[in-house]
Chains A and B, each alone.
Chain A
Amino acid sequence: MSATATKTKTMVSRAARIVANEVVDGGCHRLEAEIEGTWPVAAAGQFCMLSLDHPNFPLLPRPFSLLGSRVGDDGAARVEFMIMPVGKGSGLLCSSRPGDRLNVVGPLGHAFVGDVPDGPLVCVAGGYGVAPFIFLLEAWRRAGDPRADSTTAVFGARTAERLTLADRLAAAAGRVELCTDDGSRGFHGRVDARLTALVDQAAPAAILTCGPEAMMEAVQRVGRSASIPVKASLETYMGCGYAVCNGCAVAVEKDGTPDGYTYELACREGTVFDGARLHWNLL
């Protein structure tokens, strides 16, 4: 199966074969699958909707951020995801085996980097929100992009064992700051406290963040007070991923509307949004 970047189709629906399913830190799984057929070029921040043909798989597919997406030397496209078995859909995905068929719709949504200003970046990840940043930094590292070295990654979790794939992040990023709520590894405290100190030392051009909503809102506050733009990747309930179900509405500010906000779709206009546009209390 040759996998080539398609220009006309921005997203595709494909069958894939699971080639690896391994438990990584904190009970999280790393799932890798080989796409059958063509696969577009994907970028960090984009996601896929995954489902299995298993009879007990739920009605809706499940959205997961891409941990990686590359075309190998043999021409086959491989995609990687980090999946925590928290419910029925994710649980079944985590119990899949090499050789099983995986249904993949993607790549969906906007990439993290596109309209981000030039200059050093800080990526703030919480829990399994680290996936797109591993993708971003590894892609830069492989391409010899100097941004791999100029970017600082701040990665926080409740405990050391929840710092999933921290070593892989550290291998790709120029600098990594680990934080744990219980102090079991790295900085003892929350990522926004660490971020505030970093921003005071040297203001980055932009902050990218992905993780729990409360964490991202705190990151947005740090960015706002330091006048640094924040790009936040939102996780929402999602039905389709390609803008037909309208189930992933996100409240964003809009002047001239009666309530001062309107809805955009996380899958189409996001999942990466300007933190300053988001109506955090309506998310």
Chain B
Amino acid sequence: MSPVTGTTACGSAPAGKGPEAADLSVDVGPLSLTNPLMTASGTAGLGLEMEPFYDLSAAGAIVVKTLTKRPRHGNPMPRLCETPSGLLNSIGLPNKGIHHFIDEVLPDLAGRAARLVVNIAGTTTREFGELAGMLDGLPGVDALELNISCPNVEGGDLPFGRDPDVVYRLVSDVREATALPVITKLSPNVSDIAAVAQAAKQADSDAVSLINTLLGMSVDWRTGRPGLGTVVGGLSGPAIKPIAMRMVWEVSRKVDIPVIAIGGVTTVDDVLEYMCAGASAVQVGTTHYKTPDIIPRLVAELGAQLAGAGRATAREVIGSMRTP
């Protein structure tokens, strides 16, 4: 997929520096990152859970698990079901609520990550604005990510993520409440994801991240039981990568907004493929479960991989795919 493989391409590493000298920094709208690797919300806790494994500042950004206005229990078990190359989940956004995060967690977390992105979900479009207002201006919070697309809350897929008009209103409410960079996380469970991305852009979302999980289910015919306690849940992992890739490409081609790719990233090639297809940055999710220190590993490999391919910067890979 790489359009350029020769080492004589423009932008070779500066003389005197080793191959690790490739510049990994990228910009996601107003949010500048030291490298394109972010944790995907819901797979790295509130960030502090990762600290036994690596220094949080190694990631381009840490994205915390979705916070809601009130505490949530989460869904009944079973909440996870492994499928070929994938993982179905129905966790149900368990969290202790935004107040607990602001009062008890943020003071400890602030300053540890290179960039801290706080993911929020409201039960109404107005509540998204309310949550955004509560986080606005808090030390240590660098951006917000809006979870308009969780498939695992009451009533199935939240309606917010499907309707471009609702997304426009929701992002506008958030925009009014905060000066923080806003990333809108999109659902793949729509017929035209670019239309939803366009609505987010028109409401001044600074970037979009995609994809959230795909609706899926599994069943054991011998026991007659579904794999998940809620029957239907969200599919993640390498199984969804080609679908996410297609959506990243579609959105980045049709909408003038920075895209953060999410879906089945396990290797540095996955990272670079998403960037080649148009992503400015990439989130790592399900892979955290097997390899907690996957982010620093990928960051190290990314530098080596780029230098080995004669690329001086990660930035030049973004959108470099050549359409036949």
Give the CA-CA distance A247 to B229 in the complex, in Å.
Answer: 11
Contact of A244 among B44, B78, B79, B238 (CB under 8 A): B44
Q: Determine whether A12 belongs to the interface, using a CB cutoff of 8 Å to chain B.
A: yes
Q: Contacts A58-B82, A60-B80 given; 14 further ones with Cβ under 8 A? A: A13-B53, A59-B86, A61-B289, A103-B290, A105-B292, A242-B52, A244-B45, A247-B79, A247-B89, A249-B79, A249-B94, A263-B74, A282-B76, A282-B77
Using Cβ atoms and an 8 Å threshold, which residues of chain A touch B85?
59
Which residues 271-307 of B have a CB within 8 angstroms of A? 286, 288-293
Tell me the minimal C-beta distance from A77 to chain B in angstroms.
Answer: 16
Say yes or no: A242 contacts B292, CB within 8 Å.
yes
A112-120, A168-176, A232-240: which lies at the interface: A232-240
A263 vs B292: C-alpha distance in the bound complex, in angstroms?
A: 23
**B53 with A262: CB separation less than 8 A:** no
Instruction: Tell which of A11, A13, A49, A239 touches B80, judged by Cβ atoms closer than 8 Å.
Output: A239
* A10 on interface, CB distance cutoff 8 Å: yes
Contact call A262/B290, Cβ cutoff below 8 A: no
Q: Give the interface centre of B42, B53, B89, B289 by most chain A CB atoms within 10 Å.
A: B289
**Interface contact A236-B77, CB-CB below 8 Å:** yes
Closest residue on chain A to residue B91 by CB atoms: A246
Residues of chain A with a CB closer than 8 A to B289's CB: 59-61, 239-240, 244-245
Interface size on B, residues (CB 8 A): 32
Decide if A243 is an interface residue (CB 8 Å cutoff): yes
Q: Is the CB of A51 closer than 8 A to any CB of chain B? A: yes
Question: Which residues of chain B come closer than 8 Å to A13, judged between CB atoms?
Answer: 53, 291-293
Q: Would you call B25 an interface residue if the criterion is a C-beta within 8 Å of the partner chain's C-beta atoms?
A: no
A243 and B77 within 8 A (CB): no
B-side contacts of A12, CB under 8 Å: 52-53
Residues 199-223 of B at the A interface (beta carbon under 8 Å): none
Confirm or deny: A142 has a beta carbon within 8 angstroms of a beta carbon on chain B.
no
A239-B228 Cα distance, complex, nearest whole Å: 14
Residues from chain A with a CB closer than 8 A to the CB of B89 are 239, 245, 247
CA distance A216 to B180 in the complex (A): 51
- The interface residues of chain B lying within 8 Å CB-to-CB of A242 are 49, 52, 292
Bound-state Cα–Cα, A228 to B288, Å: 40
Asked if A240 contacts B82 (CB within 8 A), the reply is no
In the assembled complex, the Cα of A243 lies from the Cα of B43 at a distance in Å of 9
**5 A-B pairs (CB sep. < 8 Å):** A12-B52, A61-B289, A61-B290, A244-B65, A247-B91
Interface residue SS majority, chain B: loop
Give bound CA distance, A247 to B233, whole Å: 13
Residue in chain B with minimal CB distance to A250: B77
Question: Is the CB–CB distance between B79 and A60 below 8 Å?
Answer: no
Interface flag for B225 (CB, 8 Å): no
Chain B residues closer than 8 Å to A10, beta-carbon distance:
52
Residues of B within 8 A of A239 (CB): 80, 87, 89, 289
Q: How far is the CB of B154 from chain A (nearest CB, A)?
A: 15
1/0 contact string of A46-66 vs chain B (CB within 8 Å):
000101000000111100000
In the complex, B246 has a CB within 8 A of chain A: no
- Determine the chain B residues whose CB is within 8 A of the CB of A244 once the complex forms: 43-45, 49-50, 65, 288-289
Q: Do the beta carbons of B79 and A246 come within 8 Å of each other? A: yes
Task: Check A237/B77 contact, CB under 8 A, given A59-B82, A59-B85, A59-B290.
Answer: yes
How many residues belonging to A are interface residues under a CB distance threshold of 8 Å?
Answer: 28
What is the chain B residue whose CB lies nearest that of A243?
B49
> With the chains together, A105 CA to B289 CA distance in Å?
10
Residues of A221-272 contacting chain B, CB below 8 A: 236-237, 239-240, 242-247, 249, 262-263
B237 interface hit (Cβ, 8 Å):
yes
Chain B residue contacts of A245, Cβ below 8 A:
43, 80, 89, 91, 289
Given A243-B49, A244-B45, A246-B94, do A262 and B79 touch, yes or no (CB 8 Å)? no
Q: From B297, which residue of chain A is reached at the shortest CB distance?
A: A13
Residues of B within 8 A of A103 (CB): 290-291
B73 interfacial by beta-carbon distance below 8 Å:
yes
A263 and B52 in contact (CB under 8 A), knowing A59-B85, A59-B238?
Answer: no
A1-43: which residues lie under 8 A (CB-CB) from chain B? 9-13
Residue of A nearest to B75 (CB): A249
Q: Find the B residue at minimum CB distance from A12.
A: B52
A9 contacts across to B, CB distance below 8 A = 52
* Smallest CB gap from A244: residue in B: B45
Q: Which chain B residues lie closer than 8 Å to A60 at the CB level?
A: 80, 82, 87, 289-290
Task: Name the residue on A nearest B292 (C-beta).
Answer: A13
Interface set, chain B 61-80, CB cutoff 8 A to A: 65, 73-74, 76-80
Chain A contacts for B50, CB-based, 8 A? 244
Contact A263 B238 (CB under 8 A): no
Q: Which residues of B contact A236 (CB under 8 A)?
A: 77
Give the shortest distance, in Å, between B301 (CB) and chain A (any CB). 15
C-alpha gap A283/B229 in the complex (Å):
12
CA distance A9 to B86 in the complex (A): 30
Query: Which of B73, B85, B286, B293 has the most chain A CB atoms inside 10 A of its CB?
Result: B73
CB distance from B269 to the nearest CB of A (A): 15
Give the Cβ gap from B90 to chain A, nearest Cβ, in Å: 9
Choose one: A237, A240, A262; the contact of B292 (CB below 8 Å): A240
